[in-house]
Structures are given as C-alpha cells and as structure tokens.
Chains A and B, each alone.
Chain A
Amino acid sequence: GDSVTQMEGPVTLSEEAFLTINCTYTATGYPSLFWYVQYPGEGLQLLLKATKADDKGSNKGFEATYRKETTSFHLEKGSVQVSDSAVYFCALIPNTGNQFYFGTGTSLTVIP
C-alpha cells in the first residue's frame, strides 16, 4: 500500500548548520508529495509541496526535490535557525486516492 518513511529523530543541530531530513515513499503512479511542519503547541501547517517528478518545492529557505527514480523527497535547508525547531512530517497523496499518508515525523531542535 501507499506509505511514507522518514528518518528517525530527534535531530539536534547548531544554528547555521546544514539540515537534511530523509523521506522515501511507496506509492503507485505519481503521488503528490508534501512536507508539513508542526511548531510547539500548534497544529501542522504546509511547508512545501511538489506534484510531479523533478519538481522542487521551496519555502522559508527549505527545499525538497521530487525524485521518482529513488522515490524520495528529502528536506534540506542550508542554514537552520533556532526558530526552525519543530517536528517535520513528510506526506503524500496517491494520484488515485483521496487521503493523505504521513510519515512518523522528525523532531528538530536547533541550539544557539
């Protein structure tokens, strides 16, 4: 079935470090891929998305590229800030489905 696997956390980085959070997926056809972020005490909000192969989603300095050949959608940021501390979720919608599938979430803590 459709599923998302993302790297285990928690991740702790120093401010201005480079961030990668790995995400791979299993789905038939061409799903749409998403990264959601959950700041402390809040619900999830969309960070970025990509709807077809080789698309790059970007927002707030974060980027992720839809790689069909490796079924991956890794999240990257060149220089993290303390305010990026949050839980990050990778997700997909199958192209024939009507529900979202989420990974287990990766907690990121950025220390000054």
Chain B
Amino acid sequence: DVKVTQSSRYLVKRTGEKVFLECVQDMDHENMFWYRQDPGLGLRLIYFSYDVKMKEKGDIPEGYSVSREKKERFSLILESASTNQTSMYLCASSLAIGTGVEKLFFGSGTQLSVL
C-alpha cells in the first residue's frame, strides 16, 4: 500500500526553537508538498518540490524553509518557531502534473504547538 509518513503526530516546541518536520514517501513520486491546515482557512500551501533539490514557494512561505536532498524525503524547517505557527502540518506527494493521473497522497499530519 502506498504511504506518506510524517515523523511525528504531535510536537510541542518553544518560541525561537528551530523545528524540523520530516516527510517520507515510498511511491517514487516527483512532487512533494507541505501544507498547513487551520480551522476556517482550509489547506494553505507552504512550499512544494517537483524534483530533488528543487523547491518553489507556495502561498505562505514566510518563516519556513524546505529541503529535498533525496527524492523520497521532503523536510519542512521552521527557522525560529513562533506561536502563530501552531497548526496542523500536512505533507503530500503526487506524480508529475500532466501525467493524467494526478492525485495527492497525504500523510496523517503533524500537530505542532509552539508555546
């Protein structure tokens, strides 16, 4: 069965800490995405990557960075965590857009609380 795995289900960090959220997919997908999900705002795209070492900003990249050194792994980094980054973070992957079989596979999410 296909799988997108996020390293932590729940995470509690302090303001100013550097935070790493890890995501691994086992489907050899080209595309990987990081979203945050907030009540009333739905899913908002933070960053995405369409190839190793490639990245593009989404709608809300401020305060975040990403790393994709290997095809299967996409990391989201909060350089200096702030309370307004408390949220549910969802990782997803897909085949390359334009293949006709576009479909996002999501991980179970990481609920991050910044105190």
Contact = CB atoms under 8 A, between A and B. Distances in A.
Binding partners A and B: yes
Contacts of A102: 35, 42-43
A42 B110 CA distance: 10
Contact of A44 (B41, B48, B97, B104): B104
A43 B108 contact: yes
Contacts, number: 49
B93 to A, nearest CB: 11
Contact of B97 (A41, A43, A97, A103): A97
A98 B96 CA distance: 8
Interface in B36-64: 40-43, 45, 48, 50, 58
Contacts of A99: 33, 45, 48, 58, 97
A93 B97 CA distance: 9
Interface stretch (A45-53, A61-69, A76-84): A45-53
Interface residues of A, number: 20
Nearest to A101: B45
Nearest to B31: A98
A82 B109 CA distance: 24
B74 interface: no
Contact of A46 (B35, B45, B103): B103
Contacts of A89: 42-43
Contacts of B102: 32, 93
Nearest to B40: A104
A30 interface: no
Contacts of A100: 33, 45, 104
Nearest to B50: A98
Interface of A: 32, 36, 41-46, 49, 51, 89, 93, 97-100, 102-105
Given A99-B45, A105-B42, 14 more contacts: A43-B4, A43-B90, A43-B92, A43-B109, A44-B90, A45-B106, A51-B100, A98-B48, A98-B98, A100-B104, A102-B35, A102-B43, A103-B42, A104-B42
28 contacts: A32-B102, A36-B104, A41-B108, A42-B108, A43-B4, A43-B107, A43-B108, A43-B109, A44-B104, A44-B106, A45-B106, A89-B42, A89-B43, A93-B97, A93-B102, A98-B48, A98-B50, A98-B97, A98-B98, A99-B48, A100-B45, A100-B104, A102-B35, A102-B42, A103-B42, A104-B40, A104-B42, A105-B43
